[in-house]
């Protein structure tokens, strides 16, 4: 637990340090070639399929993803270097997960709302990625024929409000959503306590996204729920399935193999979550003796989503 707190502080310090230079980062991004190219959001008759031409993600596929944001390396593997560099590393990592009969999709899980230890101008303790940043990663995802997964760390905001802000991207066929309850702290400072979310709020978000899928005749989307403590998602038995969504519980803790496997077994075999899909997260720096892809695929039920941070 002591080691976990030290690592958490380092990651949170990176978030705090990120806030000040964000404007300069975006200004540099916009000056780059193609930063505002609207062709990153194509429409047309082929818009309502996944990158591989299919309509459903799960149960048929496996998704292997990198998680992070470009403002600090401590925020995750996705933000290290240019998006194209991250994609190359992701392809190499994902190759070890290929198995006959299981199509694979790559995923770029970009932190679209980043929890802060400072309140900001609106007092909500979070920073929203600028549209230019999200568009840049959407272009990178499309070049790689990958999914873009927008991750929300809401601070003192709520998940539904943040999801609504992301609507223009969620209306795209290759963009999904992830909720990070650790960072939902309506009465506290993010990083000082472990946050949580109610099943009611999850159901509000899932209904909102499911309606987007229905109205746009879009292919199935992921709705990922990150979790590493039992009370992080309250009343999970009340969470509703939604047509058009692949709701996935992603076991998000770091540590050694026995602890990670035990935690995955505990969460994945709970009656209230067995009816949904399962994911597993690995940490290149924080995990002790990083599990191999063979070991990850040996988990039961086998995770359909594998995320590296």
CA separation for the pair 88, 144 (Å, rounded): 9
Amino acid 14: pLDDT: 45
- Among 181, 177, 180, 154, smallest CA distance to 166 is for 177
- Cis upstream peptide for 301 (omega within 30°): yes
Q: What angle do CA 96, 101, 107 make, to 5 degrees?
A: 50
Amino acid 138: pLDDT: 99
Amino acid 46: pLDDT: 54
Amino acid 253: pLDDT: 85
pLDDT averages per 10-residue partition of the chain, 309 residues: 39 45 45 38 62 96 98 93 97 97 98 96 96 98 98 98 99 98 96 96 99 98 97 95 98 93 93 93 96 98 97
Q: Is the dihedral of CA 21, 117, 201, 54 positive or negative?
A: positive
How many of the other CB atoms lie within 10 Å of CB of 31? 8
Amino acid 19: pLDDT: 46
Amino acid 20: pLDDT: 38
Going along the chain from its start, the domains and CATH numbers come out as 2-32+47-308 (3.20.20)
């Amino acid at each position: 637990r002591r080691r976990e707190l030290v690592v958490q502080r380092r990651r949170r310090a990176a978030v705090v340090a990120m806030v000040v230079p964000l404007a300069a980062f975006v200004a540099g991004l916009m000056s780059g070639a193609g930063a505002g190219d609207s062709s990153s959001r194509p429409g047309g008759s082929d818009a309502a399929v996944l990158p591989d031409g299919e309509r459903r993600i799960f149960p048929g596929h496996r998704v292997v993803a990198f998680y992070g944001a470009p403002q600090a390396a401590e925020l995750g593997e996705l933000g290290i270097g240019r998006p194209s560099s991250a994609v190359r590393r992701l392809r190499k990592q994902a190759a070890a997960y290929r198995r006959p009969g299981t199509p694979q999709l790559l995923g770029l899980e970009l932190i679209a709302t980043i929890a802060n230890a400072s309140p900001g101008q609106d007092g909500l303790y979070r920073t929203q990625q600028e549209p230019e940043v999200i568009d840049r990663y959407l272009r990178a995802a499309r070049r790689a024929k990958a999914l873009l997964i927008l991750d929300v760390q809401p601070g003192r905001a709520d998940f539904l409000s943040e999801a609504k802000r992301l609507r223009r991207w969620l209306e795209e066929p290759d963009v999904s959503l992830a909720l990070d309850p650790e960072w939902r702290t309506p009465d506290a400072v993010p990083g000082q306590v472990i946050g949580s979310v109610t099943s009611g709020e999850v159901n509000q978000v899932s209904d909102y996204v499911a309606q987007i899928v229905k109205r746009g005749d879009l292919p199935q989307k992921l709705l990922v729920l990150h979790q590493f403590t039992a009370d992080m998602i309250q009343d999970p038995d009340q969470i509703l399935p939604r047509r058009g969504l692949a709701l996935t519980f992603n076991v998000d803790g770091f540590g050694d193999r026995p602890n990670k496997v035990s935690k995955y077994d505990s969460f994945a075999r709970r009656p209230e979550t067995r009816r949904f899909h399962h994911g597993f997260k690995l940490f290149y720096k924080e995990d002790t003796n990083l599990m191999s892809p063979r070991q990850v695929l040996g988990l039961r039920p086998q995770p359909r989503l594998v995320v590296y941070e």
